């Protein structure tokens, strides 16, 4: 496995993420991550991509992180989020992605979903969390009304406005203002974080 210094190759800056794949450094661009999505998924794509920028920095203290052997666990089931994770790490393509769901969030986004991820490189795990107060309660209420067919007039317009606003805000502030990260012991493929007892659902 080729060594690439994270001082020479900055792991994340601006819209970019750098990661090693097959002994070469790839420079990924957020615009490419959004290219396959309509606007409705941009919030999930944005927060997932920003979370992977946090993971990139955490796992590249000396050596730029590698795609090889990466294991990813997502506590968020949204398609935009999962596509961002896969765009950066190829975890789904390599069958190394686990999506966790609690009893109140079965394959659908609702107020019980978590903006929380674990990215492991066999040496350590970056546990990335979006700050709890970033997403307003009103947004979760809108989601629940949509999921449980209780939509009110103008809910669809409000929902889109919230997603546009959240997508913009996640890029305006520095990563450390919106996310926290901690380093934990490594996870193997299919393993769940020890302090969670949610059901494992194939991605």
Domain count, the chain: 1
* pLDDT score at 28: 97
Residues 64, 9: Cα–Cα separation, whole Å: 7
CATH number for 59: 3.30.1330.130
Q: How confident is the model at residue 104 (pLDDT cuts 50, 70, 90)?
A: low
Can you give the residue range of the structural domain that contains 39?
Answer: 12-188
* pLDDT score at 139: 80
Integer CA distances (angstroms), 109 to 80, 86, 164, 182, 200, in order:
11, 18, 17, 25, 16
Report yes or no on 2 lying in a domain.
Answer: no
* pLDDT score at 149: 65
Report yes or no on 195 lying in a domain.
Answer: no
* pLDDT score at 152: 74
Question: Which percentage of the chain shows pLDDT scores above 70?
Answer: 84
pTM: 0.87
* pLDDT score at 175: 97
Q: Which residues contact 116 (CB under 8 A, 6 or more apart)?
A: 74, 75, 76, 127, 128, 129, 130
Report yes or no on 193 lying in a domain.
Answer: no
Is residue 145's pLDDT more than 50? yes
Is residue 124's pLDDT more than 70? yes
Q: How confident is the model at residue 153 (pLDDT cuts 50, 70, 90)?
A: confident
Question: Which percentage of the chain shows pLDDT scores above 90?
Answer: 60
Is residue 147's pLDDT more than 70? no
Is residue 39's pLDDT more than 60? no
Q: How confident is the model at residue 202 (pLDDT cuts 50, 70, 90)?
A: very low
Contact 82, 150 (CB under 8 A): no
* pLDDT score at 141: 81
Report yes or no on 37 lying in a domain.
Answer: yes
Residues 47, 51: Cα–Cα separation, whole Å: 6
């Amino acid at each position: 496995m080729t060594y690439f210094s994270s001082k020479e190759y900055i792991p994340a800056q601006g819209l970019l993420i750098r990661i090693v794949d097959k002994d070469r450094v790839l420079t990924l661009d957020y615009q490419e991550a959004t290219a396959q999505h309509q606007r409705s998924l941009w919030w999930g794509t944005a927060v997932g991509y920003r979370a992977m920028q946090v993971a990139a920095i955490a796992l590249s203290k000396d050596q730029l992180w590698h795609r090889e052997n990466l294991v990813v666990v997502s506590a968020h089931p949204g398609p935009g989020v999962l596509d961002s994770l896969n765009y950066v790490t190829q975890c789904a393509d390599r069958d190394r992605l686990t999506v966790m769901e609690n009893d109140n969030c079965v394959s659908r986004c609702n107020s019980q979903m978590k903006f929380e991820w674990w990215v492991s490189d066999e040496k350590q795990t970056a546990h990335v969390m979006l700050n709890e107060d970033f997403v307003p309660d009103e947004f979760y209420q809108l989601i629940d009304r949509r999921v449980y067919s209780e939509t009110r007039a103008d809910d669809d317009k409000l929902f889109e406005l919230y997603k546009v606003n959240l997508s913009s805000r996640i890029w305006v502030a520095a990563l450390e203002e919106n996310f926290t990260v901690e380093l934990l012991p490594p996870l193997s493929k299919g393993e769940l974080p020890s302090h969670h007892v949610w059901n494992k659902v194939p991605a």
